[in-house]
Amino acid sequence: MSGEGMGMALEIVGQSVPRSDGQEKVAGQARYMDAIDLPGMLVGRVLRSTVPHGRLRRVDAEKARRVPGVVTVVTGESLRRDGRLNPYYGPALLDQPVLAIDKVLYVGDPVAAVAAVDEESALEALDLIEVEYEELPAVFEPLDAIAPGAPLLHEGELKPGGLFVDLTDVHPVPGTNICNHYVMKKGDGEAGFRHADIVIEQTFSIPETQHYPLEPHSVLAWVDPSGRIALYANTQQPFIVRAQLADIFQVPPSHIRIMVPYLGGAYGAKCYPKAEPIATVLAWFARRPVKLTFTREEVFLTITKHATVVKMKSGAMRDGTLVARKVECYLGTGAYAEIGPRVSKKMGTNGAGPYRIPHVQMDAYCIIYTNKPPAGAFRGYGLPQVTWAFEQQMDTLARELRIDPVEIRLKNLFVDGDTFWYGERLNALGLRECLLKAAAAIRWGEPSQALPGKRRGKGLAIMLKTLTHGASIAFVKVDDDGTAKVLTSTVEMGQGSDTVLAQIAAEELGLPVERVSMAHPDTDFTPFDDKTSGSRSTVAMGKAVLLAAREARERLLELAAEQLEASVHDLEVRRGQVRVRGTDRALDVAQVVRAHFRSKGGTIMGRGEFHTKLAREEFWFAAAGAAEVEVDPETGEVRVLKYVGACDVGKAINPHLCQQQVLGGAVMGLGQTFSEEMVYDHGQLLNPSLINYKLPAFRDLPAQLEVILLETPYSEGPFGAKGVGESAVPPVAAAIGNALVDAIGVRLYELPITAEKVLKALEEAGGAGPVGAGGAR
């Protein structure tokens, strides 16, 4: 099975088999955090800061401790006095206290935590904690935070966090609010701009938005009599959270066990520690199980998508050839770095777009502390922000040079064999095909008739993203009843990973997919996986599962060869039987296992490991989006008539699940484009619920929402597969922004796109402009 499964007849891979978790979920039998309790369990609650920036002059919890039913109250000072604990954590920098120590840095910063026998007692105790603040000047926007004289949020030396052994991969600037500055250069940018026939400079901005998974953050933690710590947690990264907790409690990672049930959505919001440190600290002091579940408002105050300002300058020749691009990204990371330095690096790596440009300069000043909630991983990992910028600038160049927007992209696109900015050879891109298919699907260049008084326009955008690196390990065990169990630490959070990984294992083992089951992550029993994020599970864990299943299959064939008195090379495993090719001689897999162990018992094991950095070639996500919009120039209303998402999936292991991922990404992108924005007043969040934080509803969706799956096999992927979870999101906003220009001749630079902004832009432009290349009428 050379080429990782490609080139052979497939029976299970490539089929839209039903979700393996579907029946228990629709029947209400699936186990989420809300359903998990333990005897003697306490309720945890958190007291949060009411000021955006201030010194803690006094935190008095004595009255709270005397409330009947309260078992423990913990403050930052409690943690500092306890010599057993390290009260600071963070995946990139150790800048975040479990509970505030000396200062609070945003409205919502955790100040104290309570564990009580019931919620009423816990809330009463919170009300009795007395906090005295000395308010300090605050700063809320990234550009203001780096201006001369801006208040400094973190005054001491910043130390590398749990994911970095030193500061070589994260670069804080001492004495400033910049906690990471990523720089990437190629060629001579200034010389390139001097040589260009046209130079365009624009500034784009994107606000903070919420991931808004249906299920909030929730943790159930306890300490057993031996002092060992255990948790149920709805995290995307059990091993990373385990490592961070081990640093806090100063114990070996094996001293901590994390079990993960089904997740009710995540989108990056449940990467890295969130509720886990506070819940575990409460359990540590109470010596009883503590369950901490955040309210929806607390979820808003826990993690966001980075607010970003992108300054972009591009130079091109009259024929549309790009010669130079300079990009400056300013990311507001909120009060703590979280994983912002890696988001900034990903944004910086991909910020110039998927184009051949001889002279490039990227400055991602990126991670800038502000007095707002922390920002971190969000579906697309920085690509939605920079794609909004570079794809609108490509259309601006096309309009100025009177070149069709599709043609200017085709002229400059990376193609297989090109070298990316940091020297990696590009292969199996599928980007050109995504662009052409998406354009064709909206009948690019053909006129479309608008209703009287309305204007129509078409627009498109593309993106290319590198894979998120990390190691994945899988075990596959075949039992004596002919079933297989796949053990991984990949987290099923609605994306369908359990189904896809079971299909990969079943195909390689030659078993019906119904005979393959998946284990939930448990750091005591399931092997290491770096993370369930970055659209890496199908590629990285899928490859590990393929290799583990292959090892188990090869062992089955060895055993069956003895029992059937045949050569291993003459055997095949199909539909649960080991068969001698061309004969009717066969044994069930169960018979092979039992015969070997001479009993009703026994297990055949396989192990697989895949590390993306050790792959023979890099892996790339490619996608395109195309939109047709209708605009009412009198009201400013923008309506998307049709949206097309075209994504290169390498090989669709389960086509239906791939389609649903692209559809979900497109809908998320529509919300980010038109309505989603976290609104603040001097650091106070004004819209922390669905009452006034507007997610897209069914009535907001286009009448036509089309998915195109392209398959350009990736040689290292299982059966050629790539990931797909993130790639549909980044093109949406830019495609719609470009369609808006095509319809009415004005461009918006700030998300979200609202009727008020459209009307203001039309007023400043003196009315709707001429039609564009996409077919506006």
Which range among 1-5, 184-188, 686-690 has the greatest average pLDDT? 686-690
Fold of domain 413-467+616-765? Aldehyde Oxidoreductase; domain 4 (3.30.365)
The CA dihedral of 389, 395, 401, 402, to the nearest 10 degrees, is: -170
Identical topology for domains 37-136+212-300 and 137-153+162-209+304-388: no
What pLDDT is stored for residue 3 in this prediction? 42
* Contact call for residues 221 and 282 (beta carbons, < 8 A): yes
User: Is the pLDDT confidence value at 182 over 80?
Assistant: yes
Which range among 72-76, 162-166, 558-562 has the greatest average pLDDT? 72-76
* Contact call for residues 221 and 280 (beta carbons, < 8 A): yes
What pLDDT is stored for residue 365 in this prediction? 61
Q: How confident is the model at residue 363 (pLDDT cuts 50, 70, 90)?
A: confident
The CA dihedral of 23, 28, 33, 36, to the nearest 10 degrees, is: -110
How much of the chain exceeds pLDDT 70, in percent? 96
Locate 24 and state its tokens: 């228990």
* Average pLDDT score, the chain: 94
Q: How many residues does the chain have?
A: 777
User: Is the pLDDT confidence value at 750 over 90?
Assistant: yes
Q: What is the mean pLDDT of residues 42-71?
A: 98
The neighbouring-strand residues paired with 293 are 218
Q: What is the mean pLDDT of residues 173-187?
A: 90
First to last CA, the chain: 54
Q: What is the mean pLDDT of residues 289-318?
A: 98
Q: Comparing 228-232, 270-274, 365-369, 534-538, which segment has the lowest mean pLDDT?
A: 365-369
Q: How confident is the model at residue 615 (pLDDT cuts 50, 70, 90)?
A: confident
Which of the 8 DSSP states describes residue 570?
G
**Interval 235-246: pLDDT, tens:** 999 999 999 999
User: Is the pLDDT confidence value at 170 over 80?
Assistant: no
**Interval 652-704: pLDDT, tens:** 999 999 999 999 999 999 999 999 999 999 999 999 999 999 999 999 999 99
Residues 776, 338: Cα–Cα separation, whole Å: 44
What pLDDT is stored for residue 726 in this prediction? 93
User: Is the pLDDT confidence value at 470 over 90?
Assistant: no
Residues 120, 619: Cα–Cα separation, whole Å: 52
What pLDDT is stored for residue 776 in this prediction? 40
**Interval 151-161: pLDDT, tens:** 999 988 778 87
What pLDDT is stored for residue 771 in this prediction? 57
Nearest-5° Cα angle at 656, 650 to 659:
65
Q: How confident is the model at residue 596 (pLDDT cuts 50, 70, 90)?
A: very high
Is 37-136+212-300 assigned to CATH 3.90.1170.50? yes
In this predicted model, which residue has the larger pLDDT, 58 or 617?
Answer: 58
What pLDDT is stored for residue 774 in this prediction? 65
In this predicted model, which residue has the larger pLDDT, 163 or 328?
Answer: 328
User: Is the pLDDT confidence value at 775 over 60?
Assistant: no
**Interval 544-572: pLDDT, tens:** 999 999 999 999 999 999 999 999 999 99
Q: Where are the domains of the chain?
A: 3-30+470-611, 37-136+212-300, 137-153+162-209+304-388, 413-467+616-765
User: Is the pLDDT confidence value at 460 over 70?
Assistant: yes
User: Is the pLDDT confidence value at 579 over 60?
Assistant: yes
- Burial letters 174-202, b for 16+ CB under 10 A, else e: eebbbbbbbebebeebeebbeebeebbee
Q: Which residues contact 607 (CB under 8 A, 6 or more apart)?
A: 473, 474, 475, 476, 527, 547, 548, 551
User: Is the pLDDT confidence value at 426 over 50?
Assistant: yes
Q: What is the mean pLDDT of residues 11-35?
A: 96
What pLDDT is stored for residue 422 in this prediction? 77
The neighbouring-strand residues paired with 620 are 466
Q: What is the mean pLDDT of residues 247-257?
A: 97
Q: How confident is the model at residue 2 (pLDDT cuts 50, 70, 90)?
A: very low
What pLDDT is stored for residue 777 in this prediction? 33
What pLDDT is stored for residue 617 in this prediction? 75
What pLDDT is stored for residue 161 in this prediction? 77
**Interval 98-134: pLDDT, tens:** 999 999 999 999 999 999 999 999 999 999 999 999 9
How much of the chain exceeds pLDDT 90, in percent? 87
Q: What is the mean pLDDT of residues 209-232?
A: 97
What pLDDT is stored for residue 772 in this prediction? 57
User: Is the pLDDT confidence value at 5 over 80?
Assistant: no
In this predicted model, which residue has the larger pLDDT, 193 or 349?
Answer: 193
Question: How far from 150 is each of 98, 104, 143, 374, 420, CA to CA, in Å?
Answer: 26, 17, 10, 19, 37
* Region 3-30+470-611: CATH code: 3.30.365.10
* Contact call for residues 59 and 99 (beta carbons, < 8 A): no
* Region 137-153+162-209+304-388: CATH code: 3.30.365.10
Q: How confident is the model at residue 284 (pLDDT cuts 50, 70, 90)?
A: very high
Residue indicated by tokens 């184009």:
355
